Copies of this chain bind each other. A is one copy, B any other.
């Protein structure tokens, strides 16, 4: 078993996968030609099953093309089977035709990866796991929530009363999972519009957060708007302090500043994408390895 560290693999991720699987870690040569085209080269012959680790942020398009090239190179070098571990899958949010004339982008991307020869795929906390049906082979969605939960546990003092909150109904399953690990209650925020003033607020559906430590969990933080708003609302409802945890922390633009201004004390993000300074990185490679074991 060989693990190939793609140029888009988050730092330490491929190493973590190889170590846990007892596999050899191989680092391809990687460069960009003066015209902008990517070049990859594997060091010599490969045999048996190859696991390519390649995340797809930033530079989603380049990372995707490199993933195509790495599959072709792996078979060319002698691999009998190539599996892709894409901790962050690009284009996963365009998972249906919201408007006529749009593509289902994730469908096009997953079909291209299948055509490149990947016969199985592992990703982590993809926006909608149902999207993986577009991939022609076996595709598993692992979750980094257990790793995030263990990391968050380290920030919780003894006897501290915690609740886990999803910023919207779509993320409630993740909140539930994290809450069960932390032996805490969970809930999600519901939108309320004041009948008289028209003012919009967000409140936990049923839980009282007064005096509690709130862990807000979501699959992705991009501009940080949703997470910041959730934090402000929960603090205004009397939460003692707010911790944020997400799998894919893109933190676009001034997202981190926004989150701190909203009063979030600590921010955890899995290492599916590069984790910026000021955010606590959580190694998600155990989640990928667990899924890989099902495929090997």
Considering residues A36, A58, A72, A105, which has the most beta carbons from chain B within 10 angstroms of its beta carbon? A72
- Whether A37 pairs with B65 at a CB distance below 8 angstroms is no
Give A104's nearest chain B residue, CB to CB: B72
Q: Of the candidates B72, B97, B252, which one forms a contact with A105 in the assembled complex, judged by CB atoms under 8 Å apart? A: B72
Given known A34-B223, A71-B108, A116-B111, contact A76–B64 (CB-CB < 8 A): no
Report A's interface with B, CB cutoff 8 A.
Answer: 28-29, 34-45, 57-62, 64-65, 68-73, 76-77, 90-91, 93-94, 97, 99-105, 107-109, 111-112, 114-116, 222-223, 250, 252-253
Q: Which residues of the partner chain B approach A116 to less than 8 Å between Cβ atoms?
A: 108, 111-112
- Give bound CA distance, A84 to B45, whole Å: 35
Q: Of the candidates B29, B35, B100, which one forms a contact with A77 in the assembled complex, judged by CB atoms under 8 Å apart? A: B100
Q: Which residues of the partner chain B approach A57 to less than 8 Å between Cβ atoms?
A: 35-36
Q: Which residues of the partner chain B approach A93 to less than 8 Å between Cβ atoms?
A: 37
Given known A103-B72, A108-B68, A115-B115, contact A94–B252 (CB-CB < 8 A): no
- Give bound CA distance, A257 to B269, whole Å: 49
- Give bound CA distance, A76 to B94, whole Å: 13
Q: Of the candidates B45, B72, B101, B114, which one forms a contact with A73 in the assembled complex, judged by CB atoms under 8 Å apart? A: B101
Q: Which 5 A-B pairs have the closest CB atoms?
A: A115-B115, A42-B101, A73-B103, A72-B103, A112-B112
Give A62's nearest chain B residue, CB to CB: B61
Could you give 30 example pairs across A and B, Cβ below 8 Å? Answer: A28-B101, A34-B223, A35-B58, A35-B60, A35-B250, A35-B252, A36-B58, A36-B60, A37-B93, A37-B105, A39-B94, A39-B105, A44-B100, A45-B100, A61-B61, A61-B64, A65-B65, A68-B112, A69-B103, A69-B108, A72-B105, A73-B101, A73-B103, A76-B97, A76-B102, A76-B103, A111-B115, A111-B116, A112-B115, A114-B115
